[in-house]
Amino acid sequence: MKATITATAKYLPKRVLSNFDLEKMVDTSDEWIRTRTGIKTRRLVSEGQASADMATEVAKILLERSNTDKNEIDLIIIATVTPDTMFPSTAARVQHKLDAQNCWGFDLSGACTGFLYALETGAKFIESGKYKKVMIIGVDTMSSIIDYTDRNTCVLFGDGAGGVLLEPSKNNNGIIDSILGIDGAGGDSLILPGGGSLHPASADTIKKKMHYVYQDGKTVFKFAVKGMADISSDILKRNNFTGDDVKLFIPHQANKRIIDATAKRCNIPDEHVLINIDKYGNTTAATIPIGMDEAVSDGTIKDGDLVLTASFGAGFTWGSMLIRWGK
């Protein structure tokens, strides 16, 4: 039994932060940001809005588009590194906001690869035969952990949410294969140092700005370029496909140069590569599902198309997945 995606949805906050806005906040420029990252604007939550709020909007759209009653949902998996609270989970908050009475759920922390981790996890629940409707949502409120005086990180990230509904496939469509990995040796290169059990919140951690994202940009970039290209090439070869077979490549949206390098390595033409980093920046666990929903909404992908996804993130984490699109 294969798991397949039967509905997609996204939510982007209304507030827009442009490169020109950032020019007034830190020593940077629109040209510098665009040429090095490909980003022009990113979205930020409104005051009082958090990850569970965005994820709930995605969940509501998924229910509507799939004609599913809230009490038919068996499981909710939320991929996020910015939960509303450490506990209860964001999944619990979404379940409560939906008033979905017959499901259970949990949060999954895989950083930018989180959605692919969650998608693989949800697929296995479907494949077990016990679960029929599993909701997978990637959401991050990155503005809550970004130092807007640090030009190395504040230009990169945005807020957003995206998700899918997984159900048993009625034919041979669905998730074909995945390759997922992790290497904690790279952990200190992209990290939120404070707030956990290692460095609990204190006056000292606040003074040292340990509750903001720290990134060693050069190390992360070097790993990401090779890692995402390798994993994408490997999964195609393992399944006897080439770049010519891929109708759409939906990569994690962290840096356009990384995306371009991966597509070139796999011989995927530019017109078959989804890029929306210019509009939203890096929304961490939300980038791939947002891309999926855009591609479905504008008709870029249709039933029977081969879709390739790939990501990398803090951990280091990485992953790639092949999907034969359709119910």
Given this model, what pLDDT does residue 259 score?
Answer: 98
Given this model, what pLDDT does residue 1 score?
Answer: 86
Q: Please write the tens of the pLDDT for every residue from 50-98.
A: 999 999 999 999 999 999 999 999 999 999 999 999 999 999 999 999 9
Pair 138, 83: CB distance under 8 Å: no
175-324 and 3-172 share a CATH fold: yes
Helices (H) and strands (E) in the chain, counts: 11, 13
Q: Please write the tens of the pLDDT for every residue from 196-225.
A: 999 999 999 999 999 999 999 999 999 999
- Residue of 173, 255, 276, 282 marked active site: 282
- Residue of 252, 255, 266, 276 marked active site: 252
Given this model, what pLDDT does residue 13 score?
Answer: 98
282 is catalytic: yes
Query: Which residues, given as ranges, of the chain have pLDDT below 70?
Result: none
Cβ atoms within 10 Å of 70's Cβ, excluding its own: 15
Domain borders along the chain are 3-172, 175-324
Cα–Cα distances in Å, from 131 out to 68, 76, 163, 168? 14, 11, 18, 9
The DSSP bridge partners found for residue 106 are: 77
Cα–Cα distances in Å, from 75 out to 107, 171, 188? 11, 23, 33
Q: Is 190 helix (H, G, I), strand (E, B) or coil?
A: strand
19 is catalytic: no
Domain range 3-172, CATH class: alpha beta
- Residue of 19, 103, 112, 276 marked active site: 112
Sheet of strand 317-324, all strands in order from the earlier edge strand to the far edge: 174-182, 317-324, 306-313, 248-251
Nearest Cα to 278, choosing from 9, 11, 18, 8?
A: 18
Nearest Cα to 285, choosing from 58, 17, 38?
A: 58
Q: How far apart are CA 305 and CA 230, in angstroms?
A: 22
Residue 175 corresponds to which tokens in the numbers above? 């998730």
Strands of the chain (E only): list them.
3-11, 15-18, 41-44, 75-79, 104-108, 134-141, 159-168, 174-182, 190-191, 214-215, 248-251, 306-313, 317-324
Q: What is the CATH number of domain 175-324?
A: 3.40.47.10
pTM: 0.98
154 is catalytic: no
CA 55: distance to chain centroid? 12
Angle (CA) 312-320-131 rounded to 5° is: 115
